[in-house]
């Protein structure tokens, strides 16, 4: 095994070396601001290009240089640069402590993702690697008013680089890494390239490509006789055409396709802690907070593909008004199977699904000229999505095969007539759950926002969005034969739900000085209705009500010390109604999505950037968040819970079993009270064409709530990143480490279903499992890039 790893490392190093000298995006030379000053940061947080210091919204901006320098190669890695953004398993995100912690694709996310002005309605898109990204904007708080679709908690706005007219250029970068693991360390490499081609004076093409191959985060002991794609491979292609036939007309077309293969970071689950009465220690299994050992006897794979095409057409009229049309079609496909009991025994070895998703969206937007006393924009929006999914979860609960085949389990038995011990049925597994659903969603909206400059220093803003949404689901579940059915047997649901909402925002900005703006606003956010993908009872309603957020923000932004320092400070308070929450229902032994009552998030965001002297840039951001349930009757007790009236440590068949409680006062899943990120970059000239670069980054996160209850708390996390390198006119090279002190932390902690009810026992067991990301362990590597 070690020799294979050494060969892999040599091959990876060779590829990186070739990429450095022949084909590697890019590190184009940038003009530095004058000494003691910081250049303007332009964002599109309000759907038009503006200086971030003039935008009355709390927004964290991560530039392309920061993404490359800090090795933030996907959206999950941005969390270390934008403290208000948090990530958990299955590409679920939260902003200011509020997110949709569910693996069901039957509801939309509370934190929306937008790429090049198109809302992406499926979380599979969030797993794509970054390439040729211009910037990432994390917008805190409700943001659905201007961005096409609902975003009740926040929004991540990703902008890629447009083709450049009249320019022929090529750029590329490569990265070779080694990650800390027990035994053999894991390796990985990534190559990205960009080609910009002019087509006369009025048009240009831009082509992007990415390929990466990463070893798994965990150390695996798996059955070699079945399929095991344990690492992560990513291939992405993107083509863009920008055509400006006149000075007033722009046509921008983008097509892309991305493929991923592998389960690491998603489905390679390890044990964190064995509960009292666990059957696992006697079988030689191990657990621990930094346990990276993963075992399985069933197949483990994930094949994912996303792609689509979009056209952005913009026409500017002689009076300065701009009419924009954004048409887009996107698709996502995912086929996976993983051994969810993470053991070499069949407790709960099968969790598989085949999912397909496509969406079509059309937006028309009319923007008034900027610079006039009255400015703003109006628009119409349509969104349609269609989803299909079928899957199976199950296993034999640790029952040996020679026992399972006989009565009363009858798993894989030959059906024989007669009384017991004859088997009248042939069960697929001891525990089992299957599902097949078809989901269609439609959204129609009209929106508008106006700003009026009352005086030279005071501006009033008001906006509203009228949204109508309708969704329909056809679900069949549990038509297979199982000894114990997880959920409701042979259940059929055909439902539709709809909702109409008028969301709004009113605010005021005061330009106290040319370099200082004070702002405040109050508004409502909306997240549409959806469905649970599992029924809580026979013939029960699956629909979950819309999620509504109402709250406001007060903030100040500005420059100080003659532009050497920029800063932003905001305080916020938002209350959520009918928060959509997923919980494990012990009596059904499965997850069900429902509405909590109310929850509140409140706190403070702060960020700054300083340029004390030529060559040195300091930056930092922090978020203090208190996100809690105000009222949540019906929250599910976790196994062994005895607080708040729960008696979940007693067998559910007994009359005094209490399986739910009111989670009032509990922290929201995916919330952390305090997070902070600090960075320093220093460039020292060596010659006229060469400079040395040094960088350090620090990230702190206080304990994060991984679920409802102290058992699921992820401990405090402190990481340090370091970088040192050289930069010339058309090439760069650097050595780096991320999480240099190897502070191992998971991205999620959950209860283990396979160990919850050991055979022959009455009481459930609380065994904890965990999942990791690439940033969970120390990574060292080399990064290089060229541009021509």
Query: Which CATH architecture is the domain 2-787 placed in?
Result: Beta Barrel (2.40)
Phi, psi of 651 (to 5 degrees): -50, 135
Q: Does residue 590 carry a pLDDT above 70?
A: no
DSSP secondary structure string for all residues of 116-130: TTEEE-SGGGGGSBP
% pLDDT > 70, the chain = 90
pLDDT in tens, 723-781: 999 999 999 999 999 999 999 999 999 888 766 655 555 567 889 999 999 999 999 99
Q: Does residue 667 carry a pLDDT above 70?
A: yes
Residue 29's pLDDT band (cuts 50, 70, 90)? very low
Give the position of tokens 């990143």. 721
Could you tell me if 544 and 100 are in contact, meaning their C-beta atoms sit under 8 angstroms apart? no
* This prediction's pTM: 0.89
pLDDT for 152:
82
The residue ranking higher by pLDDT, 592 or 162, is: 162
Q: d(Cα 76, Cα 603) in Å, to the nearest integer? A: 23
pLDDT in tens, 229-240: 999 999 999 999
| Dihedral sign, Cα of residue 144, residue 508, residue 459, residue 62 | negative
Q: Name residues whose C-beta falls within 8 Å of residue 712's C-beta, 6 or more positions apart in sequence.
A: 638, 669, 705, 706, 749, 750, 751, 768
Q: Name residues whose C-beta falls within 8 Å of residue 634's C-beta, 6 or more positions apart in sequence.
A: 594, 660, 662
For the record, the structure tokens of 438 come out as 């078809």
Cβ neighbourhood burial of 687 (10 Å; 0-12, 13-18, 19+): exposed
Looking at residues 293-318, what average pLDDT do you find? 95
Q: d(Cα 310, Cα 242) in Å, to the nearest integer? A: 12
Q: Name residues whose C-beta falls within 8 Å of residue 398's C-beta, 6 or more positions apart in sequence.
A: 279, 345, 346, 347, 754, 758, 759
pLDDT for 452:
95
DSSP secondary structure string for all residues of 313-349: EEEE-TTS-EEEEEEEEEEEEEEEEE-TT-SSS-SS-
Could you tell me if 541 and 601 are in contact, meaning their C-beta atoms sit under 8 angstroms apart? no
Q: Would residue 194 be called left, alpha or beta, if left means φ above 0 and alpha means ψ between -120 and 50 degrees? A: beta
Looking at residues 632-639, what average pLDDT do you find? 82
Q: d(Cα 107, Cα 121) in Å, to the nearest integer? A: 9
Q: Does residue 785 carry a pLDDT above 90?
A: yes
Q: d(Cα 298, Cα 221) in Å, to the nearest integer? A: 11
Domain spans, the chain:
2-787
Q: Strand 590-595 vs strand 580-585: parallel, antiparallel, or unpaired?
A: antiparallel
Q: How far is CA 14 from the centre of its chain?
A: 33
Polymer length of the chain: 788
Q: d(Cα 741, Cα 722) in Å, to the nearest integer? A: 11
Residue 110's pLDDT band (cuts 50, 70, 90)? confident
Give the 3-state secondary structure of 668-706: CCCEECEEEEEEEEEEEEEECCEEEEEEEEEEEECCEEC
pLDDT in tens, 339-368: 988 899 998 999 999 999 999 999 999 999
Looking at residues 711-723, what average pLDDT do you find? 95
For the record, the structure tokens of 653 come out as 């068949």
Residue 580's pLDDT band (cuts 50, 70, 90)? confident
């Amino acid at each position: 095994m070690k020799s294979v790893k050494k060969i892999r490392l040599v091959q990876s190093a060779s590829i990186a070396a070739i990429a450095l000298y022949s084909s590697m995006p890019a590190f184009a030379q940038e003009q530095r601001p004058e000494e003691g000053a910081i250049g303007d940061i332009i964002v599109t947080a309000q759907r038009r290009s503006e200086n971030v210091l003039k935008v009355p919204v709390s927004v964290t901006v991560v530039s392309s240089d920061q993404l490359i320098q800090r090795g933030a190669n996907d959206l999950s890695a941005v969390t270390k640069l934008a403290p208000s953004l948090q990530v958990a398993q299955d590409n679920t995100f939260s902003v200011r402590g509020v997110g949709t912690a569910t693996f069901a694709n039957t509801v939309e996310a509370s934190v929306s993702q937008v790429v090049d002005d198109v809302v992406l309605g499926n979380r599979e898109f969030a797993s794509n690697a970054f390439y040729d990204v211009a910037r990432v904007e994390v917008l805190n708080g409700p943001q659905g008013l201007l961005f096409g679709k609902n975003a009740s908690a926040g929004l991540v706005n990703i902008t890629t680089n447009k083709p450049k007219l009249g320019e022929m250029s090529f750029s590329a970068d490569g990265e070779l890494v080694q990650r800390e693991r027990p035994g053999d360390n894991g390796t990985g490499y990534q190559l990205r390239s960009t080609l910009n081609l002019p087509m006369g004076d009025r048009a240009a093409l831009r082509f992007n490509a990415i390929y990466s191959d990463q070893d798994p985060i965990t150390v695996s002991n798996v059955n070699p006789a079945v399929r095991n794609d344990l690492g992560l491979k990513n291939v992405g292609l993107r083509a863009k055409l920008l055509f400006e036939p006149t000075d007033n007309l722009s046509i921008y077309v983008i097509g892309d396709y991305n493929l991923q293969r592998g389960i690491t970071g998603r489905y390679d689950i390890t044990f964190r802690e064995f509960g009292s009465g666990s059957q696992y220690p006697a079988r030689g299994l191990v657990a621990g907070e930094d346990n990276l050992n993963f075992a399985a006897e069933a197949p483990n794979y994930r094949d994912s593909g996303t792609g689509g095409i979009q056209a952005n057409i913009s026409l500017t009229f002689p009076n300065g008004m701009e009419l924009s049309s954004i048409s887009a079609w996107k698709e996502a496909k995912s086929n996976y199977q993983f051994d969810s009991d993470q053991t070499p025994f069949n407790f709960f070895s099968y969790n598989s699904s085949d999912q397909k998703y496509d969406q079509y969206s059309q937006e028309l937007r009319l923007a008034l000229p900027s610079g006039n006393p009255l400015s703003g924009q109006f628009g119409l929006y349509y969104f349609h999505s269609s989803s299909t999914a079928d899957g199976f979860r199950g296993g034999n609960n640790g029952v040996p095969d020679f026992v399972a085949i006989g009565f009363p389990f009858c798993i894989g038995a030959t059906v024989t007539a007669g009384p017991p011990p004859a088997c009248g049925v042939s069960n697929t597994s001891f525990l089992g759950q299957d599902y097949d659903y078809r989901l269609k969603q439609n959204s129609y909206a009209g929106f508008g926002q106006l700003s009026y400059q009352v005086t030279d220093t005071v501006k009033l803003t008001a906006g509203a969005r009228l949204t109508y949404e309708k969704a329909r689901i056809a679900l069949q579940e549990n038509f297979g034969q199982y000894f114990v059915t997880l959920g409701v047997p042979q259940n059929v649901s055909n439902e539709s739900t709809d909702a109409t909402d008028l969301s709004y925002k009113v605010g005021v900005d005061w330009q106290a000085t040319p370099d200082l703006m004070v702002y405040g606003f109050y508004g409502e956010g909306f997240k549409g209705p959806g469905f649970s993908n599992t029924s809580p009872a026979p013939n029960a309603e699956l629909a979950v009500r819309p999620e509504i957020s109402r709250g406001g923000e007060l903030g100040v932004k500005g420059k100080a010390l003659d532009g050497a320092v920029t800063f932003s400070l905001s305080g916020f308070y938002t209350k959520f109604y009918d928060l959509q929450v997923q919980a494990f229902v012990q009596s059904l032994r499965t997850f069900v999505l429902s509405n909590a009552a109310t929850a509140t998030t409140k706190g403070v965001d702060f960020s700054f950037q300083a340029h004390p002297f030529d060559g040195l840039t300091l930056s930092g951001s922090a978020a203090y968040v208190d996100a809690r349930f105000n009222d949540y009757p019906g929250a599910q007790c976790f196994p062994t819970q005895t607080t708040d009236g729960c008696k979940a440590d007693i067998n559910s068949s007994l009359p005094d079993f209490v399986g739910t409680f009111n989670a009032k006062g509990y922290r929201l899943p995916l919330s952390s009270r305090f997070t902070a990120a600090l960075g320093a970059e220093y460039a020292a000239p060596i010659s006229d064409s060469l400079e040395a670069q040094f960088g350090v980054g620090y990230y702190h996160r206080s304990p994060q709530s991984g679920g409802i209850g102290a058992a699921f708390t992820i401990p405090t996390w402190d990481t340090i990143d370091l970088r040192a390198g050289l930069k010339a006119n058309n090439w760069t090279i650097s050595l780096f480490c991320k999480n240099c002190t190897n502070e191992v932390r998971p991205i999620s902690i959950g209860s283990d279903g396979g160990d919850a009810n050991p055979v022959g026992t009455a009481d459930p067991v609380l065994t904890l499992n965990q999942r990791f990301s690439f940033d969970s362990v120390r990574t060292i590597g080399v990064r290089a890039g060229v541009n021509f």
